[in-house]
Every structure is written in structure tokens, then in C-alpha cells.
Structure 1
């Protein structure tokens, strides 16, 4: 991997100290991005019928932009074919630069009809909603489901999916298509070779990492360039230690929420991984793909990630790897929540821009995506569950996806769904993420990291330009 020290610490310090990686100025963004049209009138609406409940213009073109990340885009290409059986031709675009390519079009009022607003460059949907640039998906949710025509679309979704698309009101502005289980991912084969089991307490975690280090294997790696990945294990770890209300207080920007003892204990525990040399050398300077590759090569035992990782790391994963996910290790027996507590949620957000030329077509395309045909195709292609209840029943699931289902089942009601990453994207991704990155690189101690996180949260709470949300 080579040395990644040059410039790394300066970058991490700047992200933590400045608190934000500024969005590129609109004038500096790519001017070659293409949208749904020329910003003129929307397409003429079609007639509503039993077969066309949303009133889609059957000859109008549709424009769909997909984030080309862990899930790729083949599932969307396949959905286009289903859509085109009844409606117009779909123009398809894939990119990893969602914000760079799409934000100028949103500003100009010339966006595509569907945007998969995901990835490291996702747009701040809360800000777009505040500017009335995102369509309310109520017509879609109230339409008959293609999965079960006797039900409305909303009645076929896994609990929590609709709530995840709400931002302070009854309207639903985004559909999170995948249902993701986050946690500590590992190779069952690698643990068997070490003759250890997955550690259920932090003392056990440190013992496993110590044993691995003696054999030249790092305990952990992570996406150093995208440190918000740590939230996938840190947020549920904090909730386990102090209870679900601690995370709710953090989401609500309550005073001193980050100074809760549970946060301090969680930060101190993770800092031990750095202090004891259990993190793969060079990790702070690598991205998610590089960290996953080091992990699948057997250079590290554990990685914080979501259930898309099985598909994203498929090409480098050995056949005997036995990819598995587990909840974060508990701290100790004093924890407020059980070991089985996990972070899981409807994820991979899709939205229909309010100024799209073919809003009805965009919603119909999403209705097609939630058909049994497309939902099962997604699961089989990318090894991930969808938000559609029962869609995976009867399918032969991969090892990682099987373990994700088992973790979710074992958690029962002990599932936490933080909203900070939806409500306050900059705070979560750049400011909190940057602070954790600096701590895990050894540039600051846990106490300073706690204070820094609270300072950033307070700054957001006092910023009158940022709309505030609260758990009800």
C-alpha cells in the first residue's frame, strides 16, 4: 500500500478544524451534465386508468440518473426494460458524482426525472426540500402496488421506510429502496483460522486484535478518506452503552448530547484500536474500495460497513471468505442495550425532482422498481434486501446477505435508526466524520474529539439558515 502519511494529517486536521468540506460553487460545477430537457414545459399528462394509475404519458421519454456505487446500475437498466413495456424510452445515466452533476440542474430547474441521490457526493436533500425542489411521493405511495395489486405501495414497505423519507412533516420526499444492515463485517474463515469467535465485548475485541497482530494481521481497516463509515458501528455502539435516547439527543442537537458518558466511552474504546496498533498501516489515507480490498485480501479482520459491501467487494472476495456481519461488540455488561442491537434502515435514496419534465413517469418508474420482478432481481444481482416486504422470500441468498438477515432478526426491536446523516449532512459527514478521522489517526485524543463534535453540533443548532428537525 505504501506510505500515505504525506499530507494526510493536514487534510484531516483541516476537515476537523474547518468543520466542512465546502460544496463546490455552482458556477464551477460541470456544465456538461444533462437533465430531463431544456427547462421548458413539462410533458403532457396521460389519462389515469386502472393500468396507469399515475396518469403517465405513455409516449414521453424518461430520464433516470443512478449512483454507480456498491450496487452498480444493472438493476436499474433491467427496470428500464420493464418500464418500457408500457411507457416511453428511458434515458439512463450513471455517475459517482451525483452532487457535481445534478446540483446545477436542480438550480437551473432542468433536472432528470429520477435521481438516485447516494454516495459520497450525494446532495443535501433536506436543503433541496426546504427549497421545494423535491416532489412529494404521496401519489406513488397511494397507487396500487405491482407486487400485490390488492395493496397500496405504502402498505407493501418494510416498517420505517416511509418515516425515513419524511423531513419534519407528513410528506414523503424520498424513497429509500434498499434495506441496509450496518455493522462490523468480517470473514468467518479468517476468524476460524485464528481459532477465535466474533468478540461480543470490547475486551474480547482487543484480545482478538492482539492475537491477529502477532500473526501479522491488522485488527481493523476502514475508509480513511470517507470517515463517516465509522458511524455504521460507532452510532449503535454509543446507543448500546447509553441507550437509544443518547442517539436521539444527538439527532435533536440537544445541548451536551455529544458529551454524554456513552460517547466518551465509545470514543475511548475505538481510540484503543489506534493506540495499540490494531489498525492497518496506511488506513487513514485510503478510500472505501481500497480498504475493502485490503480486508478481502486478509490484511485486516474487521471493517465497518453496510450490506452493499458484499456486492461492491465481490471481485476481490475469495470463494471461501464466508463474508459475515455482526453487531458492534458491546462495551461490557453495564451496557444499556443488548449485544444484538444494530443500526439498520431503509437506504439508497431515490427522489423525483419537483421541476422534472416527467414527474408522473418518475413515480411510475419507482413503482416498477417495487414490483416483485424488480425487487427480486435487485436482491439477486447485488446481494441486498429491498424495502419491499417479502420480496426476498424463496431466494437463495449469499453468505453476507444471509448473515444480515439473521442479525436483523436477532435484533428484534433493538434496531436504531439515527437521522443525523439525513437531517444534517454536513455535520455528520464532514464535521463529525472529520473529527473521528483525526482521532483515529492519532491527531487528537478522545476528550478533544468529544468537545469538537459538541462544538460542531452547537454551531449547527445555532445556525438559523439550517432547518431543524426532531424525533417525535
Structure 2
């Protein structure tokens, strides 16, 4: 596929959310070739006003859902809607933590499921799927009438950024997200206001002061899952933007030389180095379920802050006290001269879904997703997982749990200062593997700030120089 240059800020204006982007060009990554032959074996029915996607009404539908912080009950709700509308069709819904392990071999074979929630640590590389023509373009779904209003297209029901996040060259869309994810520093307002009697820190000096106060009371300032150290990115990324501005973030996205060796990156790593040096970080969670263990320690009051995403309210629900008052805080400013203000928020659309190109019931898969973006299903998603759906206005007027209410407040406060880590989507190994290893070594005290920066830059340079990876070019 050829490179399509799209000006980043023009797209941000169209999306009305700074930091959101229609992806300019597709990266060609190594993966298995597409299997199953070229013949389109997708089952189709008769198109009508009541069946705008031409679903074959008695065709079985199979959906694979990631069994993580959101579980799969919200998806089962959608499957029930599907079976109610098409009583002769059975929805075979499966949940797993091993999405790639269980679905990618079937995609290669040419006999994939019809819908895949491509999430979790064992997710598939979406760029690789698109490059090998294994993911379907769902533009037909986007241009179909929405479930709730036939006069409104599905694409027009989304909050800004959902369509843009699924584009990997031209106008085709290969994945769609269901959650409006908010990343940041999560805390208990009860702990902060009543136990420590302090306010949420807006500067790093204030953060250190809060941690010092907590230490005097026998509480660690921070914790994180050492078994999945990449969680530190959820607090560090917005700080990279605050310290260095959007130019810093774009340099990371476009694999520019020395992007990871800038003064901004150094300042952020040094800030966390001080947390470690003062022993403000509760460590020791290094198993497969490290994120659950760290979150449990946090909800039990052993630490004040944890870097996390907005799924945490649902995932940590079993151990969260009723009076916990969960909140998300924007990352503190490092210096008065920061390029972006306090309140800058890392808040991309999250929890992606895709339909394999060789799915037998491709039309049914798109119909299932059309139902998922109904207000009824979006409201159920919110009730089940305590996270904001991407359907505009779906939860307006509803009683919101503390974490969701806090997330909404943070998004409104951020305004145009929303940032998205696109290199994380384009070159997934740079986050899943390289950053994970780099920050893990750093947090363990096994590498210095300089070593962490150099190692991360070398990893980015390897991708930039790899002839088998077609780079996404800056306009």
C-alpha cells in the first residue's frame, strides 16, 4: 500500500479532539500469510431497511472476547440481542486471555471467528493483519444506519477518535473500539482527603510531598505491577507531552532520531527515579497476575497512587471498599516551563474489535457490532464494567460510579489537551516488549536514567532501520 500523507492537526480539527489522528500510512510487519484462498465464502442474506447489512438470518456467529478487566458479560448482552433478532442463528461466544494464541492460527488457516475483541497482552498485531489482508474493512458498518436512529449513520454516533484509531492507510477502517479509556494516576479520595488530609498534587514537588506525608503514616506513595512494568507508561506518557509538547510525542510516533534521548524524556525518568530513591514505591508484584496483586494492595490502602486505566474500577471492584471514592488524576507538572499544562490527559479510545476478512459470517459480525454501538448496549457496557462507552450521550443522565464520574471530569478538564500514543498502535513491540523491558529494569534499579533512554532509543532505531517495516511517514 502506498503512503497517504494526512496532516495531523487537520485531522485533529475534524475530530475535534487534539491528539487524535487519521493514520497516514500502513506499516508492513512480518507475520504469517493469509490462508484460505481468494474465494469469498461469506454468508449473506437479503438487504432491507430492517436488515441493512444483509445478514443471513440463520447463520451461526462466533465471537471471541478478551477475558480481562471487562470480562465478557457486556458482550454476552449484545449476543443476546443478536439471538433475539435472529432466533434461528446461534451466537457461539467464547472468552479467553489468549486472543492471538487461539484466533490467529485460524485466521491464517482461513477459518477465523466472525468477531474478535483483539485486546490483552496476547493480542494480535493489527498492522500485520491489515498488511496481510486478514482484517476486514468495516466501512460498510460505519455507513449503515445506527441501531437507534435509521437517519444517523453508525460512524456519527461515536465520540471523536474512534474511526481515526482504526485507520491504517486511506479511508478504510479495520478496527473499532468500544471503551473511552482514561489513563492516569488513580487514587482514593478518601485516602487523600481524610487519611492524609492533602489535595491531589498538581506539580511533581507536591507529589513528593504527598508521598512523604504518606510514608510518615506507614503508607507507600506508589505501587505498580512489576510483572507488567509497562503500566508505568499510563502515567509517564502524558508527562512526556507536558514536558516536551506535541513535538516530543510526534518524535516518538515517527521514530525520529533521539526522540527517546530528549531533555523531556530525561526529566520524566528522573522524576520517577526520585520516587524510587526515596523508597516511596511499594514493590514485589511480579507474577502473571501482578496487576491484580498491585491493585489489591492499593485498594487495601497500602499505597496512595497507581498508574492504571479506567478499567480498574471494574477490575478492582471485588477488593474496593465502599467508601474508597476512586478517582483518576492527571499527571503532575514537572516545571513551570512545561510545554503542556497540568490536566493533559492520555485518553485514547480502547478495547478494539475487528472482523477477519475471511469470516464466514462477516455481515453478521458487522451487525453484531452495530448492536454493540446501540445506546442500550452502551449503557449496559457502562453498568457492567464501570467504564465510559464510545457512543455519544449514552450515559448522560445516569448515576455514575466515582471512577467513571472522575474520568468524565478529567476529559472535560483536559479539553484539547488529550494525547494519544500512536507509536504504541503502529509499532506494538516498542511498547509491549521494549518499553516493558526498559522500564522494568529501570524500576528495579538495574539501569540508570541514561541507560533506559539509550536502550529505548536503540529499540526505536532498530524499527526505523528495519527494511521489512514500512514506516508511517510524517506529513
Taking structure 1 as the reference length, what is the TM-score of the superposition? 0.90
Partner of 2:235: 233
Give runs of aligned pairs for residues 174-185 of structure 1, distance below 5 A. Answer: 174-185=175-186
Partner of 1:70: 69
**What's the CA shift for 1:147?**
2.9
Assess if the C-alpha contact under 8 Å between 2:298 and 2:305 holds in 1.
yes
Partner of 1:165: 166
Structure 2: tracts of 5 or more residues without a match = 1-30
Secondary structure of 2:94's counterpart equals strand
**What's the CA shift for 1:284?**
5.0
Partner of 1:32: none
Distance 1:147 1:347 in 2: 22
Assess if the C-alpha contact under 8 Å between 2:161 and 2:348 holds in 1.
yes
Computed over aligned residues only, the root mean square deviation of the Cα atoms, in angstroms, reads 1.8
**What's the CA shift for 1:40?**
9.4
CA pair 177-356 structure 1, distance change in 2 beyond 3 A: same
Assess if the C-alpha contact under 8 Å between 2:42 and 2:358 holds in 1.
no
Partner of 2:273: 271
Distance 1:433 1:322 in 2: 30
**What's the CA shift for 1:283?**
3.9
Task: Say yes or no: does 1:327 pair with 2:330.
Answer: yes
Assess if the C-alpha contact under 8 Å between 2:381 and 2:389 holds in 1.
yes
Secondary structure of 2:308's counterpart equals strand
Partner of 2:449: 446
**What's the CA shift for 1:108?**
1.1
Residues 110-130 of structure 1: per-residue CA shift (max 9 Å, x gap): 110000000111111111111
CA pair 223-471 structure 1, distance change in 2 beyond 3 A: farther
Partner of 1:17: none
Give runs of aligned pairs for residues 86-125 of structure 1, distance below 5 A. Answer: 86-87=85-86, 88-125=89-126
**What's the CA shift for 1:228?**
1.7
Assess if the C-alpha contact under 8 Å between 1:251 and 1:470 holds in 2.
no
Secondary structure of 1:347's counterpart equals strand
Partner of 1:203: 205
Secondary structure of 2:85's counterpart equals coil
Secondary structure of 2:247's counterpart equals helix
Assess if the C-alpha contact under 8 Å between 2:344 and 2:418 holds in 1.
yes
Task: Say yes or no: does 1:191 pair with 2:192.
Answer: yes
Partner of 1:19: none
Give runs of aligned pairs for residues 37-436 of structure 1, distance below 5 A. Answer: 42-87=41-86, 88-192=89-193, 193-283=195-285, 287-436=290-439
Distance 1:471 1:363 in 2: 32
Distance 2:373 2:324 in 1: 31
Aligned residues: 439
**What's the CA shift for 1:465?**
1.6
Taking structure 2 as the reference length, what is the TM-score of the superposition? 0.90
Assess if the C-alpha contact under 8 Å between 2:40 and 2:358 holds in 1.
no
Residues 356-412 of structure 1: per-residue CA shift (max 9 Å, x gap): 111110011000000111011101111111111111112111000000000000000
Residues 123-178 of structure 1: per-residue CA shift (max 9 Å, x gap): 11111111110000100000000133211101111111100001133111000111
Residues 282-328 of structure 1: per-residue CA shift (max 9 Å, x gap): 14556111111111011111011111100000000000000000111
Structure 1: tracts of 5 or more residues without a match = 1-24, 27-36
CA pair 147-230 structure 1, distance change in 2 beyond 3 A: farther
